[in-house]
Amino acid sequence: MSLRPFLLLSLLTASVLTGGHSRADPAAAEALFREGHRLLEEGRNEEAALKLAESQAQDPASGTLINLALAYEKQGRLATAWATYQEAANLARRDGRTDRVASAERKHAELEARVPLLTFRAEKAYEGLSISCGRVKIGVGGLDSVIPVDPGDYQIVASAPDRLTWQVALTVAEGERRTITIPELSSLPAPAPAPPHSAQAVPLPKPARRAPGPAPSQATTPTKIGSGNTLAWMLGASGLVSLGTGTVFGIRALTRYANAERQCPSHKGCSAGVLDEWQTAKTSASIADLTLGLGAAACVGSLWLFVSRRGAEPPSVALDFLPVSGGVALGLHTRL
């Protein structure tokens, strides 16, 4: 099979190597070429290819391209080398270097039978179909065309909008001719339905109807839960707690005030610490006044309850169960 139809690939490679990245520095290009040529003779082909490619970018020359193609060939990148030899021949012909034209065309022809060729076909040519095979990437327009590739291992990946991606591993040998058929791509699964914006009300089951029972003839007897002098004792205890709390805050107020007075008796130009002591003393005094007053009132009230209830029925708290429509109700009653 002839590789002449692939002249376009050669021209594309040429535009990358010569035109797109030209920096026009002949001195740098010469130094890079010599370094690349030395590395090539030492068998360091990958390093040589990097140096020669940079030299070509600095100052394009057909001799540099021939050496670069040789570096690619020794790496086993046959399709890349084939395209570079072709471009070297074209550039040498333009420069009138017939000796280089003959050399590049001879190497180009020798590689022709060794370059692997792949043909991509698709059972269905989807709009937006994309197929990748290493550096080779084609769309629908590249189907059924023979594409030269370097020998090696590849992952063929085919994708299209709204379709699942298809892929397969492939090993391409030197001189191999193979056709890759892309099957129909499965559609993407439909998205899950969105949840409703608001939950629908779920009707509750109706309660079972109960047979009406006999109505009670009178209210139930109240059940006492507290009696005697409980209220007086509770009031007295809370009063004592309040008096104790007020006493603590009162002592604290006096102590803080004495400290502040000792540190700043003139009450002028006092430090922040002294001002904080006075503020704390005022706050503690206010709390002491409030709690002492409440404690005294509670103690007086407790004493009054003890004296006034002497010989009388003690205060009590009771719960009443009262009949209502469909059941009973709970009532709370107190008596002082």
Q: Which helix (H) or strand (E) holds 51?
A: helix 45-58
Q: What is the pLDDT of residue 136?
A: 92
Q: What is the pLDDT of residue 310?
A: 62
Identify whether residues 259 and 297 lie together within a single domain: yes
Residue 75 lies inside a defined structural domain of this protein: yes
Q: What is the pLDDT of residue 9?
A: 44
Q: Which of 111, 137, 154 is the last residue of a domain?
A: 111
Contacts 24+ apart (CB under 8 A), 325-328: 328/220
Identify whether residues 81 and 54 lie together within a single domain: yes
Identify whether residues 8 and 102 lie together within a single domain: yes
Which H, E and C letters describe 81-108, residue by residue? HHHHHHHHHHHHHHHCCHHHHHHHHHHH
Identify whether residues 107 and 123 lie together within a single domain: no
Phi-psi region of 332 (alpha: psi -120 to 50; beta: other; left: phi over 0): beta
320 in Cβ contact with 335 (< 8 Å): no
Q: Total domain count for the chain?
A: 3
Identify whether residues 73 and 133 lie together within a single domain: no
| CA 44 vs CA 49, 105, 252: distances in Å | 9, 25, 90
Q: What is the pLDDT of residue 160?
A: 95
For residues 109 and 81, give the distance between their C-alpha atoms in angstroms, rounded to a whole number: 11
Identify whether residues 74 and 151 lie together within a single domain: no
Tell me which residues of the chain have a pLDDT lower than 70. 1-23, 196-228, 309-336
Domain CATH number, residue 77: 1.25.40.10
For residues 212 and 262, give the distance between their C-alpha atoms in angstroms, rounded to a whole number: 82
Phi, psi of 323 (to 5 degrees): -70, 135
Number of helices and strands (H, E) in the chain? 8, 10
Domain range for residue 283? 231-312
292 in Cβ contact with 226 (< 8 Å): no
Burial of 301 (0-12, 13-18, 19+ CB in 10 A): middle
Q: What is the pLDDT of residue 314?
A: 52
Computed on alpha carbons and rounded to an integer, the radius of gyration of the chain in Å comes to: 51
Identify whether residues 123 and 78 lie together within a single domain: no
Instruction: Indicate the SS3 state at residue 313.
Output: coil
Residue 141 lies inside a defined structural domain of this protein: yes
Q: Which of 141, 161, 182 is the last residue of a domain?
A: 182
Give Cβ neighbours of residue 4 (< 8 Å, ≥ 6 apart): none
Residue 219 lies inside a defined structural domain of this protein: no
35 in Cβ contact with 54 (< 8 Å): no
Whether the model clears a pTM of 0.75, i.e. scores above it, the answer is: no
Residue 226 lies inside a defined structural domain of this protein: no
